[in-house]
Structure formats: structure tokens, C-alpha cells
Amino acid sequence: MVADLKSYFFKERDVEISDLGAELLLDFILQNIGPYIYNQAINDAYACMYERIEDLLGLEKCFR
């Protein structure tokens, strides 16, 4: 990721950043948007599981 950040900054901004600078930027990004990404992943997993549970419940047999 550090190499990718360095490459991005050089290609898009024509700025060279050090390994330390890229690591600090990555840490900042992860701390600030990491929780949003995590919560979205939890919501996506919930939606997927909900669909599977609905499929499973559709297999129930009625007793009369």
C-alpha cells in the first residue's frame, strides 16, 4: 500500500513522498475511514446472510 500511495502521489500530483510520509498518510486514512468501511462490510454480510436465511425458510414444509 505504501508503494501504491507513493506512486499515486507521483503520477497524480507530481510529488514524491517518503516511505514514512506514505505510511503516516495510510495510517490517517485507515483511522478515519476504516470504521466506515468496516460497518459497510458488516451491513453487506448481513444482507447476504438475510437473503440466504430467506431462501432457507422457503424450504419449510407445512404440517396440517
SS (H, E, C) 1-64: CHHHHHHHHHHHHCCCCCHHHHHHHHHHHHHHHHHHHHHHHHHHHHHHHHHHHHHHHCCCCCCC
Q: 9, 15 in Cβ contact below 8 A?
A: yes
What's the one-letter identity of residue 14?
D
Q: What is the pLDDT of residue 9?
A: 94
- Domain locations in the chain as residue ranges: 2-57
pLDDT in tens, 6-58: 999 999 999 999 999 999 999 999 999 999 999 999 999 999 999 999 888 88
Q: 22, 2 in Cβ contact below 8 A?
A: yes
